Chain A
């Protein structure tokens, strides 16, 4: 298809979409713009509405209110078969009565695009690494191969957008990692916009250009993977994406774009850049998020907290300490220096500190 639009023209616009089932709201006023060629992940725990949102994009559910636009055209009420959207199902839904070749050819035949069918099918099979599997039945191949067939089947029609509904969740860890890498490669090579649904935050971080973190039917944050990890905007995002230390603080002053906070147990007040949407005033409570890998264990001039080591666990390059402090339980991950052993044993009192630049203020 011709790439006439400029690169940041949204290919898909989800405009205040709400979906309720018999009064229960599954998706609540979601607005997202997806740019052509992007890899977007809908991340959230089960029941957060990500699958319902995906089913609305696919055309299996109709929004209760709001619109879904594709290249500017409203397709909210278009049936699935009139949308140019592919879908890889969680259970794959391969056709058991057809062999690999016929499964992949299905979409081209259904859309009556049989010209050059054979070469298209063979090209996409080789793209997913399944040359020579044409005549195999879907019951005679491994889980990972079935995954590839499902992907090839949805890619062969070169859809504008490919939706993937937790396609890797049934696979073991090693195979999952391998397919994550391959999915990224295939997405890059085909240039197709991917919308990937998962509850696995590591998977989301490693694959996505942008992540929409969802909870209770709403998008809590929609930002790049790096932004989502380093600048979570809500308590939920901070806790769901990666491990974090959340501390409660009281606003003592507000000037320009900065807030000054006092945190229980921390010896100095902290002055931090405030997020634009922070509505807290002097005297209000806010939270701050500090990732374990930004925690320093040992003497420091930065704002610091006294903690007692509860346990430590060694994982090759790093040591992770679990600590108790006046501000609650803390996690600190420090690089491991060879030949040092564990520097701090359980029961040891240590100073915990952090560079101000790595602290994120979150509305309480």
Chain B
């Protein structure tokens, strides 16, 4: 058996998995498009004619974007700190991955204990008399974004960290010795080199935030759900599979519309960098 064939045998298990996945995806899209054997956009028309669904789509994309933004804002400095840490980096890595040992439900519910009307923050604030009535810290976008950032931040950190670890410290020192102030060094050396990791992190966090179910369910308001939660409810409560499929397809297409260009950009950047040769 030729070597290439033998090696491609290794792909068989993942190939089977992919086949099932692609089959499911085709069936999903199919069931939202084909009604009684003919192509029919009824479900899509129904979705886009309802202003509450359009608003929900907008909110989903907005919350995903905000979540990604804040994850990046918190994740980059953390990743940089870990990458340049002189001591035992493994302890820091463990701390970053640690939340993954706890289920998303528990972690999201933890925020209820902190943010809820009778939660920790409101308890302290009303007890000390800073506010008379509890602040609305959850069951709104703020709660959802906070919860999602908490859940998804490790993905951002790990994605950026893996790239930062490849950037020798001497490159930053070289910039400094050439007169580059910290902001200049960051903008012209560190950020361009870290960009592939940043884009990977953005992709991961954005995708997971658009499809989030549990966190918006626990921390979001009743009136303003996210698309993922809505799909979950259509399937689990109303058994309306074609509608759920149509919503899922809309979610998929909007997510791809953002992610694909980012992926292409990352591909291009990575190629440019590896072309630059050894660091």
Closest to A84 in B: B179
Given contacts A96-B278, A96-B279, A97-B272, contact A153 B178 (CB under 8 A): yes
Nearest Cβ distance between residue B163 and chain A, in whole angstroms? Answer: 12
| A314: interface (CB < 8 Å) | no
Instruction: Find out whether the CB atom of B189 lies under 8 angstroms from the CB atom of A95.
Output: yes
Nearest Cβ distance between residue B164 and chain A, in whole angstroms? Answer: 14
Closest to B182 in A: A81
Instruction: Find out whether the CB atom of A106 lies under 8 angstroms from the CB atom of B193.
Output: no
Residues of chain A lying within 8 A (CB to CB) of residue B276: 95-98, 137-139
Instruction: Find out whether the CB atom of B178 lies under 8 angstroms from the CB atom of A110.
Output: yes
Give the segment of B60-68, B88-96, B126-134, B165-173 that binds chain A: B165-173
Instruction: Find out whether the CB atom of A95 lies under 8 angstroms from the CB atom of B174.
Output: yes
A96 and B192 alpha carbons, distance in the complex (Å): 10
Instruction: Find out whether the CB atom of A86 lies under 8 angstroms from the CB atom of B168.
Output: no
| A280: interface (CB < 8 Å) | no
| B19: interface (CB < 8 Å) | no
Nearest Cβ distance between residue B38 and chain A, in whole angstroms? Answer: 53
Residues of chain A lying within 8 A (CB to CB) of residue B173: 58, 60, 80, 87, 89, 93
Residues of chain A lying within 8 A (CB to CB) of residue B192: 97
**Which secondary structure dominates chain B's binding surface?**
helix
| A307: interface (CB < 8 Å) | no
Given contacts A96-B277, A97-B276, A106-B180, contact A91 B175 (CB under 8 A): no
| B188: interface (CB < 8 Å) | yes
- Name the one of B170, B175, B277 contacting A139, with C-beta atoms under 8 angstroms: B277
Residues of chain B lying within 8 A (CB to CB) of residue A98: 276
A85 and B178 alpha carbons, distance in the complex (Å): 8
Given contacts A91-B170, A93-B168, A95-B189, contact A81 B180 (CB under 8 A): yes
| B256: interface (CB < 8 Å) | no
Residues of chain A lying within 8 A (CB to CB) of residue B275: 137, 139-140
Residues of chain A lying within 8 A (CB to CB) of residue B185: 110
Residues of chain A lying within 8 A (CB to CB) of residue B277: 96, 137-140
Residues of chain A lying within 8 A (CB to CB) of residue B193: 96-97
Residues of chain A lying within 8 A (CB to CB) of residue B179: 81, 107, 110-111, 157
Contact bitstring A274-289, B, C-beta under 8 A = 1, else 0: 0000000000000000
Nearest Cβ distance between residue A20 and chain B, in whole angstroms? Answer: 16
Given contacts A95-B189, A97-B193, A139-B277, contact A89 B170 (CB under 8 A): yes
- Name the one of B174, B181, B188 contacting A93, with C-beta atoms under 8 angstroms: B174
Contact bitstring B243-279, A, C-beta under 8 A = 1, else 0: 0000000000000000000000000000011111111
With contacts defined as CB atoms under 8 Å apart, how many contacts are there between chain A and chain B in the complex? 86
Instruction: Find out whether the CB atom of A96 lies under 8 angstroms from the CB atom of B180.
Output: no
Nearest Cβ distance between residue A166 and chain B, in whole angstroms? Answer: 13
The count of residues in chain A whose C-beta lies closer than 8 Å to any C-beta of chain B is 30
| A355: interface (CB < 8 Å) | no
A85 and B277 alpha carbons, distance in the complex (Å): 27
Chain B contacts with A in 51-71, Cβ cutoff 8 A: none
Chain B contacts with A in 135-179, Cβ cutoff 8 A: 168, 170-171, 173-179
Given contacts A95-B189, A139-B278, contact A58 B272 (CB under 8 A): no
Nearest Cβ distance between residue B147 and chain A, in whole angstroms? Answer: 36
Chain A contacts with B in 95-116, Cβ cutoff 8 A: 95-98, 106-107, 109-111
Closest to B195 in A: A97
Among A106, A109, A137, A153, the one with the most B-chain Cβ atoms within 10 Å of its Cβ is A106
Residues of chain A lying within 8 A (CB to CB) of residue B177: 58-59, 80-81, 83, 85-87, 154
Nearest Cβ distance between residue B180 and chain A, in whole angstroms? Answer: 4
| A79: interface (CB < 8 Å) | yes
| B184: interface (CB < 8 Å) | yes
Residues of chain B lying within 8 A (CB to CB) of residue A93: 168, 170-171, 173-174
A80 and B185 alpha carbons, distance in the complex (Å): 12
A133 and B276 alpha carbons, distance in the complex (Å): 14
Given contacts A96-B279, A107-B179, A110-B180, contact A87 B273 (CB under 8 A): no
A58 and B273 alpha carbons, distance in the complex (Å): 28
Residues of chain B lying within 8 A (CB to CB) of residue A59: 176-177
Residues of chain B lying within 8 A (CB to CB) of residue A153: 174, 178
Closest to B272 in A: A97
Closest to A102 in B: B188
- Name the one of B170, B180, B273 contacting A97, with C-beta atoms under 8 angstroms: B273
Closest to B172 in A: A93
List A residues at the B interface (Cβ < 8 Å).
58-60, 79-81, 83, 85-87, 89, 91, 93-98, 106-107, 109-111, 137-140, 153-154, 157
Return 19 A-B CB contacts under 8 Å, by A number: A59-B177, A81-B177, A81-B178, A86-B177, A87-B173, A96-B276, A97-B192, A97-B193, A97-B276, A106-B180, A110-B178, A110-B179, A110-B184, A110-B188, A137-B276, A139-B277, A139-B278, A140-B275, A154-B177
List B residues at the A interface (Cβ < 8 Å).
168, 170-171, 173-181, 184-185, 188-189, 192-193, 272-279
Q: Can you list the 5 inter-chain pairs with the closest CB atoms, starting with the nearest?
A: A139-B277, A96-B276, A107-B178, A111-B179, A93-B170
Given A81-B177, A109-B188, A154-B178, 11 additional A-B pairs, CB 8 A: A79-B176, A80-B176, A81-B176, A85-B177, A87-B173, A96-B273, A106-B188, A110-B178, A139-B277, A140-B275, A140-B277
